[in-house]
A and B are shown apart, each in its own frame.
Chain A
């Protein structure tokens, strides 16, 4: 597609429920990244995909968080048994293979609120 698409744009869920967040990257972008942005704070790296493999999962905060990617296409971030501290904007970005040269294109994010 023309840009990085994320859905849903907003999600309110009850504590303890599971949620799935979706990211559809720009066609041809082999690299895909998930970040989390808590209110008033900077971006916290979660996971990086190159194709459908994840060479760097170091930012996933707990085993309640998981992510997968189908080929060089859609990625899903799943949060199980959500907690209030999971409330944040979850941002997806994609890039051509060499992100250090081209930078990222970000989606508009999914605002997750756990009540």
Chain B
């Protein structure tokens, strides 16, 4: 079945550090891939997406590239800010596996000033 595995947190970084949060997936078809973010006290928001292999999703300085050969969709940001502190969820939606989106367990990021 479809699944998403992402690195365990928490991840603690200093401001302006480089961020990578790893995400790998298993899917029966050709899924779309997403990163969602949940800021403290708020609901989940779609951060970025990619719908086919080699696509790069980007938003707010974050980016992730859909790598079919390694079944990965790692989230990166070159210089994090305190305001990026949140929980990040990797997710996939595979129409051949049903209509629901499957979420990873989430990775909590703390950014220190």
Contact = CB atoms under 8 A, between A and B. Distances in A.
Interface stretch (B18-26, B65-73, B76-84, B95-103): B95-103
Given A103-B46, A104-B46, A42 B103 contact: yes
B100 A45 contact: yes
Given A43-B89, A100-B31, A106-B45, A56 B100 contact: yes
A109 B43 CA distance: 7
Interface residues of B, number: 24
Nearest to B49: A103
B98 to A, nearest CB: 6
Nearest to B45: A106
Given A42-B106, A50-B99, A103 B44 contact: no
Given A33-B101, A106-B45, A100 B89 contact: no
A60 B28 CA distance: 23
Nearest to B42: A108
Contacts of B101: 33, 45, 99, 103-104
B15 interface: no
Interface of A: 31, 33, 35, 41-43, 45, 48, 50, 55-56, 59, 91, 93, 98-101, 103-109
